Structure formats: C-alpha cells, structure tokens
Amino acid sequence: MGIGGDNIAIQFNHLQKDFGLAKYLVTGGAGFIGSHLVSALNGLDHQVIVLDNLSSGRRENIENWLGPNTCLVEGDIRDQSLVENLLAETAGAFHLAALVSVPQSIERPTESFSINLEGTLNLLEASRKQGNKKIVFASSAAVYGNRHSYPVSETMAGQPISPYGLHKLMCEQHAELFANLYNVNSVGMRFFNVYGPRQDPSSPYSGVISIFIDRLRRGLAPTIYGDGSQTRDFVYVGDVVQALIKAMNSKKQGFAAYNVGRGESVTINMLWQILCDVVGTNLPAKLGPAREGEIHTSLANISKIEAELGYKAEITLQEGLIKTYEWATQ
C-alpha cells in the first residue's frame, strides 16, 4: 500500500482499545483525506461504508481496503434518502465530501452552497431522525478570513471572504443549532493546509505542496500566486486522521469546533526553498497574480484540540515533505 497507507493505519493502533469496534460512514472516503481515514479505520478493524460520487475521489485510493469490512457506494451527499439509509447502518459519520476549492466556490457559489451546506444538513437531519448519531465533519480555516492577529483561535468570530468559507461557517452554525435543539452531537474540524500522499496535483486548485512536487518531478518551475510572502500552516494528512479519530472518540456532548494544524506557519517562498533542498535543486519559481478570495496569512492556535482531544501534531513539515515526495516518485 506504500507510504501513507500502512504507515497511517499503524500509527493509530494504540487507539483501538478506547475507540471500540463499530461501523462508520465516511463521505468523500475515496478522496485525499478520506482514503487515509479509511485506511486507518481498517487498521483499527472497523467496518466502513464509503459514500463518494467519484467526481474528485478515486476508487483506486481505497481499492486495497474494499472487501468484507469496507464497501464503496457511488452516490451524492445531496441525495437525502441515500444519506439516511447509509447512516442507519452505522454508529456515526465522518463527513469529508465537499467542493473544497476557494476559487471554484467563487466561480460556482450556488454549487458550493448545495454541496457543502445542503450536504452537511442532510447528515445532521439524518442523525436527528436516527437517535442522534455523531457527526464529525470537515470545516475549514477559511471560516476566519483575513485576520489582523495571529494565531487564530476558535473563540474568534468567523469573517469569511469566499463562498467556501461562508458555507463552512454556516455548516458549523447549523451543527450548533442541531446540538441545541435536537441534541445531535457533532464536531467541526477546521482544517488548515492539509498535504500528503494521494493529493492530486492535476487540478490548478490542488494543494500547493502537491503541485510543487509535481513540478519538481518534471523539472518545471512552479507559479507562485502573489509575491510568495503569504503564509500557511501546513499539516500532514496522518495528523489530520489522528484528529478525526480522536474527535469521534471524544465523549464531549453538543457541538465543538477545533483548529487542525501544526501551530506553525511558513511562507510559500520558503516552502518552495525547503522542497528544493529536499530534492537537491535550485530551480527558481515564477510569480503570478494573487488569487481572488485567498487569505494572506494562516496560522492556527491548536491549544484547544490539544487540551480537549489530546491531539498532537507528530509529523514536522520537513518529514512530511520527504514522505510525500517519496510517495510521488515511487
């Protein structure tokens, strides 16, 4: 299964005693983060139902785990009856299906609303009808927008500057409402910049690290949008999986939102330099115009998730870049 498959599953074997054995629904489970979560859940001997329409996810991402304990259902998170039927078979859901691109949400705000908000609402409503099954869902650092003070913490009010960020904030607001009105337990995971094996570089909206590595493999200079001084808090996908599992395992009632990052930031220019050092090249990057709707500075305060869930970012940026580059070139 290679780097990022077996290794991530093995990383969480120590959680099995506390986590208990169950069946879980993973929406978007054939995607980048979802497939790593499916791998880890299989490593913990859980049964998994993957719901994915394969618009961006790939069957081959989870091919190694399909069988008695894991099945793939090709379908859309906006299909309410399908969502209700699948959740009925499980103890809870990890909700990762989304239109994840800020630029795409600006180009197609109605579609972003439909997929990101209505899809989440379908799961919350299904949970309400079925005895309040726990929902752990992907939120985003985009809910914060451009702030004047950093690191950002969960106590700060959301100020999104894109439809994507707004719709993720609205998902959290609906989740909190369902917790208060109907006792539906849920957790919104505010992902910062997630990277690692299986992240698809083919789209211009993919994560910057996967695009940079793809260019390095081909000896091509990447384009850095803006002047490269913008910063990001990059978190390795294995640490994100750790956070998701801990959130599902938590006994905390109601709704909670958590930052999921490393609590460290790096400029895009420095990121490119670190990658060049890893590979052993000095290829200069090109500069392009800044992208509309993208924030300039990103840095997470992760003290809440550390204190309440016992999360710890275990993989440094350099370690994660080496793992990702090795996977991309194997």
Q: Give residues with Cβ within 8 angstroms of 147, minimum separation 6.
A: 156, 159, 297
Domains of the chain: 6-192+236-261 (3.40.50.720)
pLDDT for 20 beyond 90:
no
- Residues 262 and 248: their CA atoms lie apart, in Å, by 20
pTM of the model: 0.90
Q: What is the pLDDT of residues 113-171, one digit of tens each?
A: 999 999 999 999 999 999 899 999 999 999 999 888 899 999 999 999 999 999 999 99
Which residues are marked as active site? 164
Q: What is the DSSP string of 19-86?
A: H---EEEEETTTSHHHHHHHHHHHHTT-EEEEEE--SS--GGGTGGG-BTTEEEEE--TT-HHHHHHH
Give the pLDDT confidence score for residue 203 in this predicted structure: 65
Q: Which two tokens stand for residue 33?
A: 């983060």
pLDDT for 11 beyond 60:
no
46-55, 221-230, 250-259, 289-298, range with the lowest pLDDT: 289-298
